[in-house]
């Protein structure tokens, strides 16, 4: 069965496979990067954080400063 496959054919197949793999890797690395998801608004994230869970570990939330938009916070 292996008599028909000579060393030259095995070397040729290996070189072709290595070339195809290098081309596929180059295409993969040169493609345009995907756009990331929506950016996170850090101010809103901190404002809406579940501070009530900090009471279980005996940390207390300080009262917010008199900033616009914070008067409705608990």
Would you state the pLDDT for residue 14?
Answer: 94
Q: What is the pLDDT of residue 65?
A: 55
Report yes or no on whether pTM surpasses 0.85.
no
Which helix (DSSP H) or strand (DSSP E) does residue 17 occupy?
A: helix 7-30
The 3 state secondary structure assigned to 36-58 is CCCCCCHHHHHHCCCHHHHHHHC
61: helix, strand or coil: coil
Question: pLDDT tens-digit profile of 3-60?
Answer: 677 888 888 999 999 999 999 999 999 988 877 777 888 888 878 877 776 666 665 5
Q: Residue 71: which pLDDT band, with cuts at 50, 70 and 90?
A: low
Main-chain dihedrals φ then ψ at residue 13, nearest 5 degrees:
-65, -40
- Predicted local confidence at residue 54, as pLDDT: 66
């Amino acid at each position: 069965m292996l008599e028909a496959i000579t060393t030259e054919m095995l070397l040729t197949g290996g070189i072709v496979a290595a070339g195809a793999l290098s081309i596929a890797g180059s295409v993969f690395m040169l493609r345009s990067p995907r756009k990331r998801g929506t950016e996170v608004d850090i101010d809103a994230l901190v404002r809406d954080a579940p501070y009530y869970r900090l009471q279980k570990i005996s940390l207390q939330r300080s009262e917010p400063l008199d900033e616009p938009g914070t008067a409705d916070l608990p």
